[in-house]
């Protein structure tokens, strides 16, 4: 099963700073069920055990930075101990899945393309490179939208409670650049490719300056931009390993509250 995931999103596609792939456990073990999630926490391991899953597949790596000890001092350490204690294997598919053909950003674009007429395919162009084909995508909307309507549409389709935007664009939005997670490094590239809007998960404050009436920035939150990655993981496993039972985590791991 892990091989199926890595065929879709080969590990060499990940960024140099990343730690995708096996995090904990032995991949040779028989899989009783796979719990799919964005982040791995103690609560996720508890849910996996409760639902009879001995494997967790996440988007964000549990082990992002090296551990100097495994005790109970941090949430990561406690999660590692819990996974080992319950014999739960943890695999993470992070930037390799971001950068893959048909990966995370394509899944976001498919959400934003809705609703479509029956049989109609979304107009999505991958704008990455030969080595990172899915690093970002350009979606052409079926109908142009006023900027405010577009922002409300993004919130609705991504189930976001809020959106951080720059000055509302005074022209219709048709071409939408999309990069899940933290994508502000692509702002100028999006403008150069004729995007009307840019959707991402998080941005630095000063990056909002200078794009007035050039680009409608729409930032919905890191979790909100990527939590549908679980459906992508489920589709890959169901297609390649139909005998494996998968379930999407019910635990909300978003650490940010909107009050």
**The predicted structure's pLDDT at residue 26:** 87
The reply to whether the predicted model has a pTM over 0.85 is yes
Does the pLDDT of residue 117 top 90, yes or no? no
What are the start-end ranges of the H helices in the chain? Answer: 2-8, 42-50, 75-85, 95-99, 104-113, 147-158, 187-192, 222-226, 229-240
Give me the chain's average pLDDT, please.
Answer: 96
Q: What's residue 118's pLDDT?
A: 83
Question: Looking at residue 204, what is its pLDDT?
Answer: 96
> Tell me, what's the pLDDT at 28?
79
CB 234 within 8 A of CB 208: no
Q: Per residue in 65-98, pLDDT tens?
A: 889 999 999 999 999 999 999 999 999 999 999 9
Binned at pLDDT 50, 70 and 90, residue 32 comes out as very high
pLDDT in tens, 139-194: 999 999 999 999 999 999 999 999 999 999 999 999 999 999 999 999 999 999 99
Residues 155-168 have pLDDT tens digits of 999 999 999 999 99
**Nearest-10 crossing angle of helices 104-113, 229-240:** 110
| Chain centroid, CA 90 distance in Å | 17
CB contact burial 154-193 (16+ within 10 A = b; e otherwise): bbebbebeebebbeebeeebbbbbbbbbebbebbebbbee
> At which residue do the structure tokens 């199926």 appear?
4
Inter-residue contact 179 to 197 (CB < 8 Å): no
Whole-angstrom Cα Rg for the chain: 19
CA 194 to CA 192: how far, in whole Å?
Answer: 6
Q: What are phi and psi of 146, to 5 degrees?
A: -65, 150
- In the prediction, which pLDDT does 249 show? 98
């Amino acid at each position: 099963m892990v091989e199926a995931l890595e065929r879709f999103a080969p590990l060499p596609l990940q960024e140099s700073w990343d730690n995708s792939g096996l995090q904990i456990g032995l991949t040779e073990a028989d899989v009783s069920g796979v719990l799919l999630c964005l982040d791995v926490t103690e609560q996720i391991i508890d849910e996996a055990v409760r639902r009879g899953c001995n494997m967790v597949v996440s988007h964000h790596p549990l082990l992002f930075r090296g551990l100097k000890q495994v005790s109970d001092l941090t949430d990561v350490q406690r999660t590692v101990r819990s996974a080992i204690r319950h014999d739960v294997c943890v695999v993470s598919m992070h930037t390799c899945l971001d950068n893959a053909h048909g990966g995370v950003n394509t899944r976001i674009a498919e959400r934003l393309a809705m609703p479509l007429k029956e049989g109609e395919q979304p107009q999505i162009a991958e704008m990455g490179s030969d080595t990172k084909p899915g690093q970002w995508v350009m979606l052409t909307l079926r109908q142009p939208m006023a900027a405010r309507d577009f922002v409300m549409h993004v919130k609705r389709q991504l189930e976001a409670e809020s959106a951080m935007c720059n000055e509302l664009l005074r022209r219709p939005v048709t071409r939408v650049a999309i990069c899940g997670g933290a994508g502000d490094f692509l702002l100028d590239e999006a403008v150069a490719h004729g995007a009307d809007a840019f959707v991402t998960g998080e941005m630095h404050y000063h990056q909002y300056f200078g794009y007035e009436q050039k680009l409608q920035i729409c930032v919905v939150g890191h979790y909100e931009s990527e939590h549908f990655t679980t459906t992508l993981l489920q589709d890959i496993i169901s297609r390649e390993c139909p005998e494996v039972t998968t379930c999407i985590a019910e635990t909300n791991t978003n650490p940010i509250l909107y009050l």
